[in-house]
Structure 1
């Protein structure tokens, strides 16, 4: 007995959920396969004697379950049933076997471990009772608010304690921002090559996601305009300060263009500034241009050290209560001990010293990449944690990434960062911080050699 296509008599009340169950079973049974396009809402409603609204609600439920993907302007498609937790970087169990240029992390050396041990030792001598007993986020903000504003000013953002939320890093802040700006079924738009965790996170939250065209300056305003004219957009998610996979830094002029469009179409902006003040002479955050609609977040994790899971989310005044409530139900509050350590380091200058060290180290590694890759075209940002290498003409992306791996170097495939199937950009993200500089040099030399090579025809598409 076939499951698909369903018949009216196969459904029961509530019809939207019953239809979603039937489609889910058809996918599991292999009667609907990855990439298959589902009928339009109107066509399926006609065939099943249902209202269009019922079918729309059923499709929204399928998006929430993670079994289909709605693409703006194209339709609804059966999505891959592979794990959403797949990442573009090398699993930890495979460390040591190859040079890892897939993981985006800052340079970490013995001095960082010494700093952490020293900081924890000092904390043990005069730990305030509030760091061990605090149970109220408002009290934590009262304790660390002034110090937090100092670090945000270092990032180029002057703010008050109102609308400031202390978080356990950037992922926490990103989740709160998405939950505050959008409801299930709403549309988020972002760079076509974007944050690898954004796609599954939107799926888990029941949000639709569309990737926009970009150029060397970031999201193309005309692309943003077209989608806003076509449908309601809840939020524009941006990584303007070099940390996007393609490593561009958005100019102030482009930021102003996008802000004006966001105001015109009443779209919120989510600004991911995870690297914080790593880059010198950085352009002021978008949040300074549009504080009334920008959710800005940053942390100390990428610019100081990986284990310092502490950051900030700054929200517009109108959303303060909503964001605080969503933080409460997802995280309750930032971990007090980590907040205490981070704020001590900001006050005593340790954070600034480690930041300056990181800037110097990343500057050296970016210069190393420029020297070894030489005339091979690639994108980079000053003191960036990674570079973007467009796929060499003689290779396919899949084959280049695979053969780099076969030669002992792991890099992240550009397809891992595609927000939509119709994104044409092809390349690889090559991270500069995870290995020793000697290992990084070895890895870059392998990448350079392969990029300059001309593989056998059978290898070009792998």
Structure 2
């Protein structure tokens, strides 16, 4: 039995939701393809025996969900299928009251606003002139090195000021690192399911990128070794501590094994530790195991506050000058005003207090998520900012994303993070920090109900 066009008697109440659901299933089944023109509102209403308003509302919902697109003077068309440069999160608030589980961010509360207000007052009363007057990074940022090194020590990295580059967060550090370790045409390897900005960034820089196979402990040393044996690899990018869509924290043994392969083939290492010290009792950093070849970067953005875009890049001694120059031409320097606030917080203990608060808040949210998702094969970490939820075979990522949007929830698709063939890691990332606790629980309940369902209109209509 075909799904499209739908039969009048197959629609359930409310009819607009059932019609929208049918379109999504038809797209998932391949009966409606990207670029197909949809019937006019009036024609489809007449065919189904419903009002034009019902069809219009269904089309509106599908347009907001990203399944359809309207073109003035031409009609409405299917706009489904994975996009190469799609970001995993909702890029605007056009969805109104949607529960946003797509954007990875820490939990925020009134104490964060209070801390920032106090910091701004304190800075206004004792602002160093270099913060607003210096145009030289080594002058403006010199005073911030010592607090930054203290924070790095908390992260498990010991470094000297000569090896430190202060940045506006992890993306700036990643960009400077890639420019330092490789040139156009060079090969970078990374987790086959990893950081969503790495793929477009390497493409923009003219670098080749290849995914490495994963198991329950992260990147496999055997897979890494095989790629290196076939052709030269400049660097490996890794997310060893819970950051990847599958929140896996590599064991100490796995980290040591990957370092051994990197040394064997003279491969540089990029250790992306965006969450910093938020995971308790984590194994030693890769940078501590191989300081001679590891570019380590972290920031306060995820573990303290989104607006506090201040990060640290630690580089091997032999690359210190090159990395500083690459950062200079791409970012010039970390924003002194933000660096001033961040390092004051490190020095006076505010950053540590906010870190401990964040650990506790995320622990509570992970416990709540585990209760809602009980019985489903989800993956999480005790203080992680997200949950990974594999999709059963009957759900396509596109179909599930669209259904979730229709039911008021935005989630991040696994395809946004995947460096291998589509569908290899079919699943969704559910972020725990961006919404108030009650909205988070409601969003998780909706997702759990949908994933336990079969993608049939009778089961999914509300």
TM-score by length of 2: 0.80
Distance 1:457 1:193 in 2: 32
Q: Which shifted more, 298-307 or 109-118?
A: 109-118
- Contact map agreement 2:415 2:422 (CA 8 A) in 1: no
Offset at 1:423?
6.8
The reply on whether 1:137 has 2:137 as its aligned counterpart is yes
Residues 142-221 of structure 1 aligned to structure 2 (within 5 Å):
142-221=142-221
CA gap 1:303/1:453 in 2 versus in 1, 3 angstroms: same
Offset at 1:341?
0.4
CA gap 1:423/1:186 in 2 versus in 1, 3 angstroms: farther
The reply on whether 1:102 has 2:117 as its aligned counterpart is no
Q: Which shifted more, 390-399 or 145-154?
A: 390-399
- Contact map agreement 1:399 1:459 (CA 8 A) in 2: no
Offset at 1:396?
2.2
Offset at 1:115?
1.1
Residues 67-86 of structure 1 aligned to structure 2 (within 5 Å):
86=86
RMSD between aligned alpha carbons? 2.1
- 2:316 matched residue in structure 1: 316
- 1:233 matched residue in structure 2: 233
2:93 match: secondary structure: helix
Offset at 1:457?
9.3
- 2:433 matched residue in structure 1: 433
Distance 2:360 2:422 in 1: 38
- 1:31 matched residue in structure 2: none
Distance 2:334 2:85 in 1: 24
- 1:3 matched residue in structure 2: none
Distance 1:184 1:458 in 2: 53
Moved over 4 A (4+): 82-85, 457-460
- 1:387 matched residue in structure 2: 387
- 1:397 matched residue in structure 2: 397
Offset at 1:141?
4.1
Distance 2:330 2:400 in 1: 40
- 1:344 matched residue in structure 2: 344
- Contact map agreement 1:134 1:336 (CA 8 A) in 2: no
Distance 2:108 2:258 in 1: 36
CA gap 1:402/1:92 in 2 versus in 1, 3 angstroms: same
- 2:127 matched residue in structure 1: 127
Offset at 1:353?
1.0
Offset at 1:405?
1.5
- 1:449 matched residue in structure 2: 449
Distance 2:168 2:459 in 1: 44
Distance 1:389 1:459 in 2: 20
Distance 2:170 2:95 in 1: 24
- 2:52 matched residue in structure 1: none
What do residues 332-374 of structure 1 show as CA deviations (whole Å, max 9, x unaligned)? Answer: 1111101100000011111111111111111111001100001
Runs of 5+ consecutive residues of structure 2 not aligned to the other structure: 1-33, 35-81
Distance 2:458 2:439 in 1: 30
The reply on whether 1:292 has 2:295 as its aligned counterpart is no
- 1:113 matched residue in structure 2: 113
Offset at 1:253?
0.4
Distance 2:247 2:305 in 1: 21
What do residues 297-356 of structure 1 show as CA deviations (whole Å, max 9, x unaligned)? Answer: 000000000000000000001101110110110111111101100000011111111111
Offset at 1:213?
0.7
Runs of 5+ consecutive residues of structure 1 not aligned to the other structure: 1-33, 35-81
Distance 2:142 2:333 in 1: 13
Distance 1:217 1:401 in 2: 28
What do residues 88-129 of structure 1 show as CA deviations (whole Å, max 9, x unaligned)? Answer: 101223364210000001111222112111101110001011
Distance 1:403 1:371 in 2: 23
Distance 2:203 2:162 in 1: 30
Higher relative contact order (CA 8 A, sep 6+): 2
Distance 2:307 2:85 in 1: 21
What do residues 140-198 of structure 1 show as CA deviations (whole Å, max 9, x unaligned)? Answer: 44211111111001111111111100000010000001110100000000000111111
CA gap 1:412/1:459 in 2 versus in 1, 3 angstroms: farther
Distance 1:174 1:455 in 2: 40
- Contact map agreement 1:149 1:159 (CA 8 A) in 2: yes
Distance 1:192 1:389 in 2: 17
Distance 1:197 1:173 in 2: 12
Q: Which shifted more, 127-136 or 187-196?
A: 127-136
1:351 match: secondary structure: helix
Distance 2:119 2:430 in 1: 32
- Contact map agreement 2:271 2:295 (CA 8 A) in 1: yes
What do residues 418-441 of structure 1 show as CA deviations (whole Å, max 9, x unaligned)? Answer: 113367111111100010000000
Q: Which shifted more, 270-279 or 392-401?
A: 392-401
- 2:283 matched residue in structure 1: 283
- Contact map agreement 1:141 1:165 (CA 8 A) in 2: no
Distance 1:364 1:255 in 2: 29
1:429 match: secondary structure: strand
Q: How many residues align?
A: 382
What do residues 21-57 of structure 1 show as CA deviations (whole Å, max 9, x unaligned)? Answer: xxxxxxxxxxxxx9xxxxxxxxxxxxxxxxxxxxxxx
- 1:357 matched residue in structure 2: 357
Offset at 1:455?
2.4
